[in-house]
Amino acid sequence: MLAAMKTVFVDVDVQHDFCDPGGALFVRGADALGDAFRALTARAVERAAPIVGSVDSHAFDAWEFAGAPEPGPRGERPGFPPHCVKGTSGWLKVPGTMTSRARFIPNTPLAADALSRLVRAHGPTQLLLEKEVYSLFANPNAGALLELVLADEAPRFVVYGVATDYCVRAACEGLLDWVAARGRGEVWLVGDAVAAVVEADGVAAIEGCRARGARVVRVADALEAA
């Protein structure tokens, strides 16, 4: 058992549309990571370590999609194919990566008491932040949720998922900022449990996170962390 820190597993967008070869935005190589994703989930449950994940959650007319009727809040029109539309098969998590006590956190601001109830009532083991853009911190409840999960303990965030050069990097950078603002804790990036849209960009994302203070580890290290 490692050190006196509270390990929080951070499962980033492990969903069919990204991880299945038939998915709308398949990330090459993600289909080979299923066993690693399942092992990390199982170890978190075994050791009662919280999982704070993110899930891309879109409506059918999301501004990210090609042909969207409206642009994004800054005029963006990225033109992605429709993906992770809430309730569709592509939106669902990869088998074995969702616990039996998972709770979804909506992508709308919640009052403190309402969020506290979602995080604490009946002991959820996995909290999945719905989001529309890359960073899990785009969900307005993310920061407060982490405060509730940690209850003043120093965190070790163990980050994995897809895609390295987009949502994983954004999660890692946001967590590094979160840790720096509190002056304690650490961020581990599981280098053999991530896949990138563009391989070179994925390597650059990992090195960028390392340069900012993340520790790049392997699945075996992450399994030992809990």
- What are the residue boundaries of the structural domains of the chain, listed by start? 8-225
Q: Which CATH number is associated with domain 8-225?
A: 3.40.50.850
Residue 1 has pLDDT above 90, yes or no: no
> What tokens appear for 185 in the block?
């804790």
**CA-to-CA distance for 38 and 103, rounded, in angstroms?**
18
pLDDT tens, residue by residue, 43-100: 999 999 999 999 999 999 999 999 989 988 888 888 899 999 999 999 999 999 999 9
pLDDT for residue 19 is more than 90:
yes
C-alpha dist (Å) from residue 145 to 11, 50, 73, 95, 177: 15, 12, 25, 25, 15
Secondary structure E strands in 85-206: 102-105, 126-131, 155-162, 186-195
Angle among Cα 17, 35, 198 to the nearest 5 degrees reads: 50
If you average pLDDT over every residue of the chain, what do you get?
95
Burial classification of residue 183, based on how many CB atoms lie within 10 Å of its CB (0-12 exposed, 13-18 middle, 19 or more buried): exposed
> Could you give the 3-state DSSP secondary structure of residue 157?
strand
Select from 76, 78, 99 the least CA-distant residue to 14: 99
pTM reported for the whole predicted model: 0.95
Q: What are the tens digits of pLDDT across the range 175-208?
A: 999 999 999 999 999 999 999 999 999 999 999 9
Digit-coded pLDDT (tens) for 201-214: 999 999 999 999 99
Residue 152 has what pLDDT? 87
